[in-house]
Amino acid sequence: METFTVSVFGSEYNIKADGDVEHVMKVARIVDQRMREMDRRHQQPSTGRTAVLACMSLVDEQLTAGRADMTWADRRVASLIDKLGTVV
């Protein structure tokens, strides 16, 4: 297990992680960027509120991307089923 420090929204956090330190640092950079973006847009009175907005924004982005992936997969499967129907 490796211990290292990341900085998010002006605060430093000591992290212990197994495996890919670069991955954890990348996650911290993304969170930091999103918190700064939310702070510029909404200027919340507390860091906690900014963090919640950032988390909601990131989760919304992931859910939206997941829906798009599922829609693509549904269309692709339907297309393959149609093709199989013409072969049989």
What is the per-residue pLDDT across 19-57, written as a single tens digit (0 to 9) for each? 889 999 999 999 999 999 999 999 989 999 999 999 999
Neighbour-count burial for 23-40, b at 16+ CB within 10 Å, e otherwise:
ebbeebeebbebbeebbe
Furthest-apart CA atoms within the chain: distance in Å:
64
pTM of the model: 0.73
Percent of the chain with pLDDT over 70: 95
